[in-house]
Structure 1
Amino acid sequence: MINLSILDYSPIDENSNAREALIATTNLAKRAEELGFKRFWVSEHHGMQTLAGSTPEMLMMHLAANTKNIRIGSGGVMLQHYSAYKVAEGIKLMEALYPGRIDLGIGRAPGGDKLTHNALNIGKTRVLAYDQQIRDLKAYFGSDNEFNLSFPDLIPTPIVDTLPQLWSLGAGASGGLLAAQEGTSYIFAHFINPGGTGLRATEDYLSNFSPSLITTKPQNMVAVFVAVAETDEAAELLAKGFDHWLLMIESGRETPYYMNYNSIKNYHYTAMEKEIIKHNRNRIIVGSPETAKKKIEKLADAYRTNEVMLLPQIFGKENRMKTIELLSEVFK
């Protein structure tokens, strides 16, 4: 049996705004819970016009308050910008309010451009290595002297009797081994890097996992974009909007809004742009529910996991809602 989870970017659709995007995220989380999805994660993206998801911890608190059972998490907190102590305090506060429901997904990507990075790190005089920050987080979540803690006598509050799940996000070759060595759960971003690196990184993780207080046995996922509609043809139209959005993002020509397919259908792509779009299609599963299910099952099998995190990064809150409803039905 494959468990399905969701990672949502809070996309801002054409003729909409950030407030409406965040309301749509809230409604999507509520519906995901009704449909039996296991987790609902939100992202950290800075300075992007088409995405409202800039501060996952704050949005997580809101989503947890508006749901009852589904696990709420970050996909992820970009740890290089922050104090591990401050991150631990926020997550422990959520764990106190919503015990057994909080996931902390962490990554080392910048989540924005160089200007954003500089603004987030202004005034810093000390930068810790990423692996040290992971060790610090684990210690802050409940270990005494098991880890090499930067501040040995510091205990984040509130003190709670449950632990969040700690997930390392990976998109490259080394992330799996690091997650294994540090004893965290591991998710590979196939939607970023579908070229086979993830299979090797996942194998490294599963083969070298070292148990920790916070993660006693290996637990891994794979994440992928999805565009699902009633038919393969309808799903293809949704995917064309995704194609355009991703092309604009990667070429530094981000549009103010996530555009409807009808607004970009007459765009004339160059030969090079067509090649980029063709390559990017490896990052998304497109099709009817039956077609998508086969592809998701194949992906899960390749990554040796029983849980797949889906990113319905397509135009229209109704289309995103329909995508998760169709997948829920076909995976019953």
Structure 2
Amino acid sequence: MLTLNILDYSPIDEGTNARQALLQTTELARYADKLGYHRFWVAEHHNVLSVAGSSPEMLMMHLATATKSIRIGSGGVMLPHYSPYKVAENFRMLEALHPNRIDLGIGRSPSYQIVNLALNETKGKRVSYEQQIQDLAKFLSNHTFENHRFNSLVATPVIETTPEMWMLGTGKDSAKMAAENGTAYAFAHFAKPSKAGLDAIAHYRKDFKPSLLLKRPKVMIAVFAIIAETTEKAMELAQAFDLWLLFVESATPPPYYPSIQTAKNRGFSFVEKEKVLQNRKRMIIGNAEQVKEEIKQIAELYQTNEITIIPNFYGADNRIEGISLLAQAFGLHQ
């Protein structure tokens, strides 16, 4: 059976503010929990004023308390900015309070230069990303490696369960590191929907080394999905999403997610229309049955039973309706 998850950015819809966006994320998580989704992840974005998700660990604690059984995770923590030891302790604390419900997704997506400077200006010599992953796996499992420079160091609290560790990526490098360290692997199809993803996952499965964190390879595929009651409504929502993607990549993006009406009124230039066509390859758009069929095709393509949708489209009510329609189409609540 196909497992469905949600990754939410906490978009700040036009006419709302950041507090409202975070409360809307909370409500979306509650609905996802009731509807039968397996995981609800939140993102880490810095200096993107149209989304409120900047600190996944903090938001995760709130969401785990606000929900009952759905797994709560990060999609993801940008590890190069942080100490693996501190990240491990944050997530062991989450796991201690919400056992068997916490996912640690990690990545290294580049951010604005000023963000990198602000997050790292007090640091001296950095260790490599590969070393950080090894350190994090050691601290999460509290395994003792004889040759590790922090061999005797224990990440607290000491608990009986361990958060799931997921490597996020878009190609062979991340897949290779996930395989070597025995972590689960989440491929960002929404970022790079190409044959490279199939190759990366094939390498991950072939080279996977069992670890204290995971015995067998586990793959998740993440996709942008816009679901509405009708195809026509989904296409309207997609037009607003098209504009948001253009805004995010512009020099002076507005501090909000544009409405359907704003997208209709503004329109697109010839150059923007070309970019929109490229971006449309990154998303699934349609009514619930149409989106369901495309999700099934992607799952078959990647030979996985776990798909994460990113319902990053305008309107809190629209997002709740979209995930509800999709849950009904898949029979999740049954």
Amino acid aligned to 1:12 = I
SS of the residue 1:225 aligns to: strand
Q: CA RMSD in A?
A: 1.2
Residue 34 of structure 2: aligned partner: 34
Residue 232 of structure 2: aligned partner: 233
Q: CA deviation at 1:197?
A: 1.7
Q: CA deviation at 1:149?
A: 3.2
Residue 19 of structure 2: aligned partner: 19
Deviates more, 1:78-87 or 1:250-259: 250-259
Question: Matches of 1:235 and 1:251 in 2, distance apart?
Answer: 24
SS of the residue 1:299 aligns to: helix
Amino acid aligned to 1:7 = L
Any unmatched runs of 5+ in structure 1? none
Question: Is contact 2:142-2:155 (8 Å) kept?
Answer: no
Question: Matches of 2:221 and 2:182 in 1, distance apart?
Answer: 18
Distance 1:54 1:83, change over 3 A: same
Question: Is contact 1:143-1:213 (8 Å) kept?
Answer: no
How many residues of Structure 1 are paired with residues of Structure 2 in the alignment? 331
Question: Is contact 1:105-1:168 (8 Å) kept?
Answer: yes
Residue 299 of structure 1: aligned partner: 298
Residue 120 of structure 1: aligned partner: 119
Residue 195 of structure 2: aligned partner: 196
TM-score (norm 1): 0.97
Q: CA deviation at 1:91?
A: 0.4
Q: In the TM superposition, what are the counterparts of 1:1-332 in structure 2 within 5 Å?
A: 1-110=1-110, 112-146=111-145, 149-332=148-331
Distance 1:107 1:292, change over 3 A: same
TM-score (norm 2): 0.97
Q: Deviations over 1:258-279 (max 9, x none)?
A: 0111012122422221111001
Q: CA deviation at 1:160?
A: 0.4
Question: Is contact 1:78-1:108 (8 Å) kept?
Answer: yes
Question: Matches of 2:236 and 2:185 in 1, distance apart?
Answer: 33
SS of the residue 1:104 aligns to: strand
SS of the residue 1:25 aligns to: helix
Question: Is contact 1:135-1:148 (8 Å) kept?
Answer: no
SS of the residue 1:166 aligns to: strand
SS of the residue 2:222 aligns to: strand
Question: Matches of 1:33 and 1:163 in 2, distance apart?
Answer: 21
Q: Deviations over 1:1-59 (max 9, x none)?
A: 21100000000001100000000000000000000000000000001110000000000
Q: CA deviation at 1:330?
A: 0.2
Q: CA deviation at 1:147?
A: 7.8
Question: Is contact 1:85-1:140 (8 Å) kept?
Answer: yes
Question: Is contact 2:142-2:154 (8 Å) kept?
Answer: no
Question: Matches of 2:326 and 2:7 in 1, distance apart?
Answer: 14
Amino acid aligned to 1:329 = Q
Q: Deviations over 1:61-110 (max 9, x none)?
A: 00001111110000000000000000011000111100100000000113
Amino acid aligned to 2:278 = H
Q: CA deviation at 1:252?
A: 3.0
Amino acid aligned to 2:37 = F
Question: Is contact 1:227-1:239 (8 Å) kept?
Answer: yes
Any unmatched runs of 5+ in structure 2? none
Percent identity, aligned pairs only, is 49
SS of the residue 2:41 aligns to: strand
